[in-house]
Structure 1
Amino acid sequence: MSDNQSPPAQPPYPGQAPFGQLPTPPQAPKWARKRIAIPAAILILFIGVGIGSSGNDQKTAASAKPAPRVTVTATAAAKAQAAPAPTVTVTKTAKATPAKAKPKKTEPAAPKDKVVFKVWGSAPAGVDITYGSDTDNLDGHGLPMTKTLSLKDDAMYYNVSAQLQGGGDIHCSVTVDGKTKTGHARGGYNICSAQLSGGLFGGWN
């Protein structure tokens, strides 16, 4: 053997890489790897279950959350429907019928060829009545009083007179040939008088 020859390669020690190669890291035994892998798998399983459970809880919470309730109040519509229809009242104003005026009481015309004397009203203390013509003077009594005489062609006038004997209110009239004269007296000893006189050319006034 020459001095220049390299020494023969020595076999590596157990676990030592041959000369010129990188050493291989030592590997854990299988039982040690199982002790690490099993807890890691269990941990991953629990994490996955927790995540899934959290997702389910969120879904369940989301699904369990009640939907918002929308309330529609129909009170206004109900009131509008229930409200009675407005009542329309038509008032017609009837034209007032004018009351018929009572005809004024007039003394009836005396029959032809007759003279009518009348006295009426109130005389609580009494009344003195005289009636007739220029040739006849007669006394009357009581109220109301009505007397009739025959018409004389030569008579100048016909009259009636009634005097109150205290308080009272009386009327008197004389009618000749359709012509009437009236008088009125009230209170004390006042006198009611009415007279018709014959005209020069006929007729009475």
Structure 2
Amino acid sequence: MGTLLSYSSINIVDLAICPNQHASAMFTPPNNAMEGAMPLIDVYLSESVLDVEDRQVLADAIARQVREAEGYGDSRLAAGLSWVYLHALPDTAVTKSGAAPARPLWRIEIATPIGSLGADSKAALAERLARACLAAEGTPWSPAEGRRVWVLYRDVAEGDWVAGAEVARVEAIRSAVARERVAA
């Protein structure tokens, strides 16, 4: 599995990874901000590529890489706000030019607050995520192999992160993470 890490602050629910109550209890944002999921990450892969345990480890590694790229590092609060949805598709549901691909194809979609990641950060993160996917499937890294992993970014405007009826304010979350670091 390479250097993939697991975070104990994230639990598996079916194939969706959601924050646990401990991380939720830590988040007390100011200014009426709510506890939403930021970033939201979708990982699409063929179901035969990894077993459920390896998918969990990969999802944790992907979430960690995104948090690091956003500047949140190992914040438990940020870990609790990072949701990864794994979409393990039937092998016949992924095609290349109308036929089954010779090697597994991956798609990762990442929604983050606008301005969280610059163009250089996105390029560097995409390579790290491609390396993680290839390592998980047991394939050595090469740029050619890395092109089997597509990473798509969606920058979400302030005010467009809404869960329930509350808007998640990015600055409130950043302030809460800063308070967490000071308290540590």
Report the TM-score range of the alignment, normalised by the length of the smaller protein: under 0.3
Q: TM-score, normalised by structure 1?
A: 0.21
The two structures have a TM-score, normalised by structure 2, of 0.22
More helix by percentage: 2
| Higher relative strand content | 1
Greater C-alpha Rg: 1
